[in-house]
Amino acid sequence: MTALQESLGSFGADLAFYTDEPFRNYRPQFGVENQDDKTTWLTDHGRRVALVYKPHNIIDLFEFVPGKPRLANPQLPAIYHAPTMLGARITLAQWVGAQGRTSDTYDLAITEAAERITLTITETWQKNRQHSVKRVTLAVHPRFGYVLHTEDTVRADEPVGIELYNFLVKGLTHHAPAKRRFPYVVWHSARHGLLKWRSNMVSLMCPGQRDYEATRNLGTNGWVGFFGEPDWNPVFALQEASSPCSIATCDNLLDEHLCFDQAVGAAGGEFRCQGMLLALPGPVATAVSERATFNELNATPFESHLRPFCLNRLGDFESAIPLADYYRGQYWNVPENGADWATVSDERARSGRWALRLRVRPGDGEKSIMPIGSTMWLDAGWRYRLSAHACYTGRGPGRLKLQTWQGYFSYGENRERLETELSGDDATGWRRLELAFTAIANDPCAVVQLTASGDGDWFVDDVLLEEIR
């Protein structure tokens, strides 16, 4: 390794207390196993440690401790997506102007040696005469075990902004108590030092969390990690970059986007960056996290009043989601007693004080609303029941539909929609809607939606998505 590769930027300073080198004498024997034209495994002494999945242009590092495998027999899932990924994933293509590959040409070459494996990704864009070379090297670090070193060079004739890496880890996006992981996001801000927040689908909407210019900025050598687990806690650390990095998270997958808004400036030129993907053991990650300051939420009344929607939990609209809690479910993105067509209202409720009010007019046709936030992943083969109670106070005919469908990584893979509906004439009092379904293979997600029409107000209460096995 070069001297620069050994540097860890601000991460090195934050980890100065940890000097152990448990892997200094470990000698890897890396290899490449091509399963098919889409799938390549990187191995050490014959054991799989990382996955290169070409359809998604990613590398998934799932082993971190040489000699102590996490996974007994790692295999490519039938559907590779957020709940079935294996470890910590970063993207290989440069995301320029879109969340995915936009280059005109793309080439991936893998160079194999006993002590390292290097992936070289070369891309070109006709626009701006842009050229990118990304190198990702699997190696063994004396302190951290298996790591991915990254080196990026981008040249362009005009200004270019880049999402250099998209950083996602297994369990980060999951809502199920037995599968969700990483309750803390910790990062080193260029302006404010060590910061953290509890992983919460709602609090990340707050101005203090979204304000990446002030706090969500890593500078040229900061880092971001997902912490709170006893075994492995993944980190992406910038070692050196030629322009500052801002990070932003997604209110669905909770992945971290490492963005360089001005990678290449107005006069054109070259951008360079080096970094490292690694994982810390639980006690070390905890020691770092305990020194970090909670980032200010600066919540508005809107963010403070959002109601939850969770698997196996009655959605009665009574209590708002506590912003300081570890929360991975969905939420109804509507105000409390607002003027919008959809709001949480205390005008009428089936149980308690609050319900969801949907105000529709004949000229609107059908209007739909769904809870948003963390994707509602299901267990393949299990039976589920979706139910809700509704009543109608409109002046003319009305209809309310309770709908659901299943999909995988993207909503472009939706399966057939299931729905049940209620006529306004039959809903002058509270009526129950219900439908049941079986989760398709490979741990899909469920999308839940309410669709209303008529001339007046629909009230919906006690919404529940539950396992019935």
User: 236 to each of 2, 5, 148, 301, 430, how far by Cα in Å?
Assistant: 19, 14, 9, 34, 52
Retrieve residue 40's tokens.
């390549």
pLDDT at residue 154, as a whole number: 95
Q: Which distant-in-sequence residues (6+ apart) come within 8 Å of 383 by Cβ?
A: 436, 437, 438, 439, 467, 468, 469
Contact between 323 and 202 (Cβ < 8 Å): yes
Chain-centroid distance of CA 303 in Å reads: 20
pLDDT at residue 210, as a whole number: 81
pLDDT at residue 261, as a whole number: 86
Give CATH superfamily name and number for 301-467: Galactose-binding domain-like (2.60.120.260)
Contact between 458 and 400 (Cβ < 8 Å): yes
Q: Cα angle at 74 between 73 and 78, to 5 degrees?
A: 120
Buried b (16+ CB within 10 A) or exposed e, 328-356: bbbbbbbbbeeeebbbbbeeebbeeebbb
Mean pLDDT by 10 residues, the chain (469 residues): 61 95 97 97 98 96 97 94 94 89 96 97 92 97 98 92 94 89 95 94 88 84 97 97 92 90 83 97 98 94 96 96 94 96 98 97 96 90 97 95 86 73 96 96 91 97 94
pLDDT at residue 96, as a whole number: 85
pLDDT at residue 2, as a whole number: 41
Same fold, 3-294 and 301-467: no
Amino acid at 314: L
C-alpha–C-alpha distance, residues 183 and 172, integer Å: 8
pLDDT at residue 410, as a whole number: 52
pLDDT at residue 409, as a whole number: 63
Beta strands in 222-354 (DSSP E): 223-227, 232-241, 245-249, 256-264, 269-281, 293-294, 307-309, 330-332, 342-345
Boundaries of every domain in the chain? 3-294, 301-467
Q: Cα angle at 69 between 87 and 173, to 5 degrees?
A: 20
Contact between 167 and 227 (Cβ < 8 Å): no
For 3-294, CATH number out of 3.10.450, 1.10.10, 3.90.320, 2.70.98 equals 2.70.98
pLDDT at residue 266, as a whole number: 73
pLDDT at residue 414, as a whole number: 61
